[in-house]
Amino acid sequence: MSSSLIKSVLLHLALGGFLYASANIHPPKPKVMEVTLNAAIPEPEKAVSAVTIDQRQVEQKIAELKKKEDDKKRAEDKRIRDLERRAADARKQREAEARRIKKLEQQRRAKEKETAEAQAQAKKAREVEQRERAKAKQAEKQKQEAENAAKAAADKRKAEEAALKKAEQERKKRAEEAERKRQQALQEQMLQEQLAKEQAARNKIRQQQVVSEVDKFRALIMARIQQNLLIDEKMKNQQCRINIRLGFNGLVTQVKSLGGDKLVCEAALRAVRMADTLPVSKDKDVFEQLKNINITIAPEF
């Protein structure tokens, strides 16, 4: 049973039930309504008076209600007939639509079959074309790979030749640089040796000059001390060793005995203190050897 037929049966059953219920409905028993017509303003502490409605008015009201119910029933009957008519029309339309759809479905299936066959043939043709293209592509790929390999080999050979050439150039450059550095080092060594020899010669000369100057000022210091030295016969063949410290201007800052004859040592210390300042050189190297000297004093007779 189709869904449309089920809906139609249910609709009829619903309409029948509604008509049955409407036929068994009895109008309610009229009630007496009490209203107050032209009521006067009640006086205090008096009950409100009521007027009974005329029986004729009640019957007229009942007749109006019954007429309305009959009109409603007729309208419902008309509505049900319209529904049944429309349901029949809809069923016819559905049946016609079903036939049309069935025909369209048959046409669609035929068209799909025709399309499927055409697609199968087209697919087969595409597969053949794709195989041919794949073969051509593979051949092109192999050709390109061969050309690339040949180019890569040529580039590699050129790169190796360039690398060898560059390495040779760098080797020659390094060799030349090493030779240049060797010659430069040799020249610097010879120069250093020459400078060292010259410096040694200058130092020797300078040392000789310093020694000569030291001896000179040592002799001057000895002469100054001998001038102030007071001698006695008891000092004959005696001597004393003393230490003298001098300032940069020859000022005696300290004098002390290092051992020897007592009389000679006392006389030597006294002579140095009497001198107060002793001869010193302005040459720094000479002064460095004179600022702290040890002298042996031996009185001369």
Does residue 62 contact residue 27 with C-beta atoms inside 8 Å?
yes
Please tell me the predicted confidence (pLDDT) of residue 16: 53
* Cα–Cα distance measured from residue 296 to residue 282, given in angstroms and rounded to the nearest whole number: 24
H-helix or E-strand spanning residue 301:
none
List the one residue out of 268, 204, 220, 210 whose CA is nearest residue 241.
Answer: 268
Instruction: Please provide the DSSP assignment of 81-110 as one string.
Output: HHHHHHHHHHHHHHHHHHHHHHHHHHHHHH
Give residue 50's pLDDT band: very low, low, confident or very high (50, 70, 90): very low
Q: In this structure, how many other beta carbons lie within 10 angstroms of the beta carbon of residue 104?
A: 10
Indicate the Cα dihedral angle 116, 121, 126, 131, nearest 10°: 130
Token duo for residue 197: 């020899």
Predicted confidence (pLDDT) per residue in 177-207, tens digit: 999 999 999 998 998 888 888 888 787 777 7
Report pLDDT digits (tens) over 129-180: 888 888 888 888 888 888 888 888 888 888 888 898 999 999 999 999 999 9
Q: How far is CA 63 from CA 33, 35, 69, 190, 224, in A?
A: 16, 21, 10, 155, 178
Q: What is the pLDDT of residue 87?
A: 84
pTM score: 0.35
Q: Are 299 and 229 in contact (CB under 8 A)?
A: yes
Band of residue 44 on the pLDDT scale cut at 50, 70, 90: very low
Confidence of residue 54 (pLDDT cuts 50, 70, 90): confident
Distance, CA of 68 to CA of 245 (rounded, Å): 158
